[in-house]
Amino acid sequence: MNVLTNVFYLISTALLIPVMLVLLASLVQVLLVLGQTVREFLVRCRNARALAEYSEALVRNRGDLPGWSSSSPGGLLPETLLRLEQAADDPVLAEKLAADAEMAWRDEVERITGLARRGPALGLMGTLIPLGPALVGLAAGNLQMMSENLVIAFATTVVGLLVGTLAGTIVGTKKRWYRTDAALVGFALSRVLSDTPSDQIAAKHNARHPAQDRSSRHAVASNGGNHHTKTVESHPKAQPAEAH
């Protein structure tokens, strides 16, 4: 029993430094994400007027989309809407662009959600690991050893909660943004698909698959000829009657 206890004690104490390093890296990462979120917020503020005009044009089902050009401020939403406008004559490409944008938004939210979960977990590990040496120091009467480990435990707890709080706030904000963006992209995609004539889609399909269309026509013609032959053969008494 003592051997097993010592093994677990050594494993837990050996994990203290890696946990602190990963927690520090997570803190740096969440600060970078916070900076990117602030920059995205500023870009959205600059694009707010153009997006409002774009949405109004979509509601009115107008062919032109005012206030939007390639020189507008960047961002995934403006780029996706601009490319959807350029791909108005290709519904398949338009659907691909909308799906790519939604996938990128989902991946971004999942990445920050993982950071929000990892921060408190690492903080809890950083809290519990030093408590063992602290209790050992308390039993041995070494108050300095106990105080040092308690300082590490409290510090890792604070850092882990900070990482989790910042990441959770960023996730909530980005989810609200991306839900609105996904709704606008879906609306724009519906307008693009509704404005594309069906004969234009059929012409593009025939241009892309000419061999398949020719083989289909040949199969129909062959089936028609066989049907005619079977019809004549199924009425053998009709020929003598006509000759008489």
**DSSP letter for each residue of 199-232:** HHHHHHHHHH-HHHHHHHHHHHHHHHHHHHHHHH
pLDDT the model gives residue 16:
92
Per-residue tokens: 166? 């910042």
Parts of the chain with a pLDDT under 50: 67, 70, 198-205, 207-209, 211-222, 225-244
b/e code 78-116 from CB counts within 10 Å (16+ = b) = bebbbbbbebbebbeebeebbeebbeebeebbeebbebb
H/E stretch holding 123 reads helix 91-128
Q: What is the pLDDT of residues 91-136, one digit of tens each?
A: 899 999 999 999 999 999 999 999 999 999 999 999 999 998 898 8
Cα separation of 112 and 96, whole Å? 25
Q: How many CB atoms lie within 10 A of CB 169?
A: 15
DSSP label of 234: T
pLDDT the model gives residue 79:
86
Please say whether the beta carbons of 49 and 67 come within 8 A. Answer: yes
The C-alpha angle 82, 180, 77, rounded to 5 degrees, equals 25
- Which residues have C-beta within 8 Å of that of residue 137, sequence separation ≥ 6? 143, 144, 145, 146, 149
Q: Looking up tokens 């990128």, which residue turns up?
A: 104
**DSSP letter for each residue of 57-76:** HHHTT-SS-TT--TTS---H
Overall pTM > 0.75: no
Residues present in the chain in total:
244
pLDDT the model gives residue 72:
54
pLDDT the model gives residue 211:
47
**Distance between terminal CA atoms of the chain?**
113
CA distances to 41, 45, 68, 95, 213 from 71, in Å: 19, 16, 8, 24, 43
Domain ranges in the chain?
2-208, 209-244
pLDDT the model gives residue 103:
95
**87 phi and psi, to 5 degrees?**
-100, 30
